[in-house]
Each structure stands twice: as structure tokens, then as C-alpha cells.
Amino acid sequence: MTDTSAAESTVEDDPLAQHAAQHAAHDGRSRGADRRRVVRHVRAVAATEYRLAVRGRWALALTGLFTLFGAMIVTFSGSTVGPDGTERIVASLTSLATYLVPLAALALGYDAIVGREAEGWLAVVFSLPIRRGEFVAGTYLGRLVVLAGATVLGFGFTGFLLVREFGVARWGAFVTFLVAAVAVGAAFLAIAVLLSTVAREKTHALGLSLLVWVWFVLVHDLLALGVIAAFTLPDTVLSVLVVANPASVFRVLVLSGLGTAAGGGFTAVLADTGLSAAILAAALLAWCVAPVVLAVRLVDRRRL
């Protein structure tokens, strides 16, 4: 009665399959069904994350922030202290977005995983027939929709003011800025999700996110400039220095389209590195994908 060293009952033929048969009408085992299931899972998580971000006023706050700062730059263009002309305004917007968009993305994403774990939601969701990677991907995409929407709407208002002020002659430069701003936000959001997967507590994730922002936005380019000033470096090294920082990629991508006159400092130095728009766009895309892929790998090892 009290001896438990051996299994007491035999394994049934395949009761799991028997139970599965009850659900067969709305479930399949084919590859196509598996793909549909992955899409369904990712979409369900993304929709929930989007809903939560909207209810948490994140969408409203970010849109308001981007609208306010963008409009201020355009408005100042009418005064003696502000930039004049579409290209200079886009250059000013780029400088602003280099600081603001990464910060907003990191703030939006730092608690993506660790925050849900603290709520107890992660343990609930991971008990469902959903792969952990699907949850990470859905979380990223749901928050990305919020960030991208806020970027397009917020800075889009600035674009509207630009068109009203200067017409559509240089509209392309602004569109490039807008797309790149969405992409750099996506890159930093991906980094935030990765940090959230690594951190054990929300405060740790927040601290790591701030460190990442300081490094990429404030320190990296200063150090790079110092290295460039001190040594004669081949173009390849300069290119690596750029693609190693998504904020630099964003800045170079937008400003190089405006001509070097619009940029300065690091961007002016990089004018001859041979980094094409396609390479820069590919680098930004890699910054969006690689951290999420790494987060998907790491979340499997996370102990709940």
C-alpha cells in the first residue's frame, strides 16, 4: 500500500490520442494546421498586449509625446531660433527622434516578460498549449503596433504641418524619416523585450534599459568619435561602428539622404564609408529580429 517505488498502473495504449480525437473537429495535426495554430497563438497574445497598452494609456501618451515635440520643432521653424526648410526640419526631427524614440521603446518594452511574470500571468499562459517563443513574438508584435501607431500618428502630425508650410516637394525625406523612426523604435523595443527576458525583476529590467539607452544614444557615438579622431581607421571599422548601434544606423540612414550638410559630427565623418541605404536598412532590420530571436531562445530556459 505504501510502497511507491514502482508504477502501479500500466500505460494505456494512447489515451492522449483518444482525448485528442474528441477535439479533432476543430484541431489538426498537419503542418498547415500547426502553422495556423502558431499564427492564432501569436495573434491572440499580440491582440491582448495591444489592448493592455491602449488601456494603460501607453498609446495615448506616446502619440501625445511625439506630436508635442514634433510640432514644437516645426513651430520653431517659423521663428529665428528654429530650423528652416523641410530638410533642416527633418534633420532636427532626426536628432530629436534619436533620443526620444529609443527611450519610448525601452519604456514600453522593459516589462514585457518580467512584468507579466510578476503578475502571475506568465505561469498561467505557459500552462496553455502555446510555445514560449510564440508568447514572446506576440508580446513584441502587440507592443510594436502600439509604438508604430504612436510614431506614425505623432510625427505624422508634424508631417502634415510640414506639407502645409513647405508643400510636397521634399515629402520623400520626411517619409524616409518616418519609416526609419518606426524601424529604430522596433529595434529598441526588440532590445527591451530581450532585456525583459534576461532580467529576474522589473526594477532590474528598467535599470538595464536605462543603461542600454545611455550606451547607444549618449556614449557609443562619443567613444566612436574619439576613436576616429585618435586613429586612422579603415572604412570597414567605421561601418562596423555604425551598424553596431541602431541609433547611429537610424541617424545615418536619414541624414545621408538629406546630404551631409544636414548632418554633423559622426554622420559627416561617415559620409564616405560606403554604407548604402540598403545596408543600413538591413542592419536596422537585423537589430529588430536578432534580439527577439535571442529572447525566444532564452525564455525557454526561464524558470517560473
Partner 1 sequence: MNVNATEVRKTYDDVTALDGLSLSIPSGSTFGILGTNGAGKSTLFRLLVGHDRPDDGTLAVGGADVTAEGHRIREHVGYLPERVGFPPALTGREVLAFHATVRGLPADGRIDRAVDRVGLEPAAVDRAVGGYSNGMQRRLGLATVLLPDPAVLILDEPTAGLDPRGVDEFHRIVGRINDETDATVVFCSHALAEVERLCDRVAVLHDGAVHAVGTVDDIVAAADADPTPSEHGSRTGLRAAFHDVVTAAGAPPVEVSR
Closer to partner 1 by Cβ: residue 5 or 79? 5
Cell of 47: 491582440
| Residue located via cell numbers 536598412 | 281
Least distance to partner 1, CB of residue 44, Å: 4
Which of 62, 69, 301 has the alpha carbon at shortest distance from 188?
62
Q: Please, what is the minimum distance in Å from the beta carbon of residue 126 to partner 1?
A: 6
CB atoms within 10 A of CB 84: 14
- What's the sign of the alpha-carbon dihedral 41, 43, 44, 45? positive
What does the block give as the cell for 97? 527622434
Distances (CA, A) of 9 to 4, 5, 6, 298: 11, 12, 9, 37
Q: How far is the CB of 298 from partner 1 (least distance, A)?
A: 15
276: left (phi over 0), alpha (psi -120 to 50) or beta: beta
- Interacting residues with partner 1 (CB under 8 A): 1-9, 11-16, 19-20, 23, 26-27, 37, 40-41, 44, 48, 51-52, 55-56, 116, 119-121, 123-131, 303-304
The alpha carbon dihedral of 221, 224, 230, 232 has a sign of: negative
Compute the least distance from the CB of residue 37 to partner 1, in Å: 7
- Considering the complex, state which of residue 107 and residue 212 has its C-beta at the smaller distance from partner 1: 107
Our CB check for partner 1 shows the closer of 42 and 275 to be 42
Shortest Å distance, C-beta 75 to partner 1: 35
- Residue 241: CB minimum distance to partner 1, A: 40
Least separation in angstroms between residue 170's CB and partner 1 is: 42
Find out whether 195 and 208 touch, Cβ atoms under 8 Å.
yes
Residue closer to partner 1 by CB (options 128, 214) is 128
CA atoms of 259 and 131, how far apart (whole Å): 47
Considering only CA atoms, give the Rg of the chain: 24
CB of 174 within 8 A of CB of 86? yes
Between residues 119 and 272, which has the closer beta carbon with respect to partner 1? 119
229 versus 304: smaller Cβ distance to partner 1? 304
Nearer to partner 1, 139 or 273 (CB): 139
